[in-house]
């Protein structure tokens, strides 16, 4: 990812958006058996310097180095100053193996610590600007009111989504989908909303709408689940080639999971591509399963039922 965009980077949240595609390409072309067994859906870098370079390029790296320099060149020795410096260093160390950028309380504490360090760095006011106190207070008040209104609107949207999700039994499908569609603009960048929305459209088989909306899930948080759902919608609308591509995309992202190949085996069986279907079915049934659950049991049972005779011939051939 860094090699592809070393200067500009992929932008804010670029790792979330693009990493799984790069993982799929790498595992398909160069991945070892161990790599494929280990890989799973991942949207965290677990390394903040690396994330900054991926998302902001060389500028991100320089900014990170600048922050390091500011923190480690800080000379104040008072308890408050040392405490603030310790907090910042702890945040930096944590960032080498985790993702503090996703923990809002930690970010707030680090910002306060940096502000404290900045405040203690200068002992004298170099220059005082004249200002109108009434105007300044008015600007601050407008900013606070504006932020408050935005926060209230956001909480209202979150509450509405929660209420929709809790009333699934009592609501008609059309009414539920209509209510969700009203939240599209307000929750454009909310991953949870688009995942829930797409699963709802899939549940009621609103495939045309699903194929339009799932683009937002791909944009924010692509995973194997995204492309399996997309493949199902393509298959129900008769776009079998597109369904095949979607399922292979899901498989390449996380090869150790079997659901995408299970869907492909059923698709090939439907198309009359029996040798390919049997090969996939045999592969799924004979390989070591990474995480065996009830869904795995159901998939294996269904494959054994459909391909029972062909699998016997396949095993004899081997």
23-73, pLDDT tens digit by residue?
A: 999 999 998 989 999 989 988 888 999 999 999 999 999 998 988 888 888
Distances 195 to 13, 222, 223 between C-alpha atoms, Å = 17, 10, 11
pLDDT, residue 314, reads 65
Q: At what angle do helices 308-317 and 274-286 cross, to 10 degrees?
A: 80
| φ/ψ bin of 122: left (φ > 0), alpha (ψ from -120 to 50), beta (otherwise) | beta
The CB-based long-range contact list for 87-90 (8 Å cut-off, 24+ gap) reads: 87/113, 88/113, 88/114, 88/117
**Across residues 78-85, what is the average pLDDT?**
82
CA 114 vs CA 7, 125, 203, 236, 241: distances in Å: 27, 18, 48, 55, 54
d(CA 151, CA 229): 33
Q: What is the pLDDT of residues 9-19, one digit of tens each?
A: 999 889 999 99
Q: List, in order, residues 6 or more apart from 164 with CB less than 8 Å away.
A: 171, 176, 179, 180
Which distant-in-sequence residues (6+ apart) come within 8 Å of 78 by Cβ? 120
Q: For residue 1, is pLDDT > 70?
A: yes
Residue 100 structure tokens:
């503090």
Q: What angle do CA 198, 203, 206 make, to 5 degrees?
A: 70
What is the per-residue pLDDT for 80? 78
Terminal alpha carbon distance of the chain: 41
The pTM assigned to this predicted structure is 0.85
How far is residue 220 from each of residues 114, 200, 230, measured CA to CA in Å?
A: 30, 18, 15
- pLDDT > 90? residue 144: yes
C-beta of residue 310 within 8 angstroms of C-beta of residue 295: no
- The band of 315, judged by pLDDT with boundaries at 50, 70 and 90, is low
Residue of 197, 200, 242 lying closest to 217 (CA atoms): 197
Long-range contacts: 269-278, Cβ < 8 Å, 24+?
269/306, 269/307, 270/240, 271/240, 274/310, 277/307, 278/307, 278/310, 278/311, 278/314
Please state the separation of Cα 251 from the chain's center in Å: 17
52: left (phi over 0), alpha (psi -120 to 50) or beta: alpha
Residue 284: the pLDDT is: 94
Domains of the chain: 14-121 (no CATH), 129-221 (no CATH), 224-318 (1.25.40.10)
């Amino acid at each position: 990812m860094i090699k592809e965009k070393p200067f500009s980077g992929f932008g804010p949240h670029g790792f979330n958006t693009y990493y799984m595609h790069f993982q799929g390409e790498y595992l398909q072309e160069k991945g070892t058996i161990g790599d494929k067994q280990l890989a799973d859906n991942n949207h965290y870098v677990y390394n903040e310097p690396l994330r900054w370079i991926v998302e902001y390029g060389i500028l991100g790296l320089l900014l990170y180095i600048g922050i390091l320099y500011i923190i480690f060149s800080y000379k104040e020795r008072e308890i408050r100053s040392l405490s603030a410096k310790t907090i910042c260093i702890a945040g930096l160390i944590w960032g080498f193996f985790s993702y503090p950028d996703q923990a809002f309380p930690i970010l707030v504490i680090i910002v306060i610590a940096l502000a404290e360090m900045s405040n203690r760095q200068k002992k004298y006011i170099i220059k005082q600007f004249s200002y109108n106190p009434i105007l300044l207070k008015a600007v601050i008040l407008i900013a606070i009111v504006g932020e408050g209104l935005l926060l209230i609107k956001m909480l209202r949207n979150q509450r509405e989504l929660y209420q929709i999700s809790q009333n699934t039994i009592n609501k008609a499908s059309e009414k539920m989908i209509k209510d969700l569609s009203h939240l599209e603009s307000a929750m454009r960048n909310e991953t949870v909303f688009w995942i829930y929305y797409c699963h709802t459209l899939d549940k009621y088989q609103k495939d045309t709408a699903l194929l339009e909306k799932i683009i937002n899930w791909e944009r924010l948080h692509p995973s194997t689940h995204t492309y399996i759902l997309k493949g199902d919608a393509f298959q129900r609308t008769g776009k079998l080639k597109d369904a095949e591509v979607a399922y292979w995309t899901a498989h390449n992202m996380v090869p150790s999971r079997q659901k995408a190949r299970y869907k492909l085996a059923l698709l090939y069986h439907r198309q009359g591509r029996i040798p390919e279907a049997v090969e996939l079915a045999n592969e799924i049934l004979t390989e070591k399963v990474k995480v065996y659950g009830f869904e795995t049991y159901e998939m294996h049972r269904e494959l054994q039922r459909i391909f029972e005779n062909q699998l016997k011939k396949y095993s004899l051939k081997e």
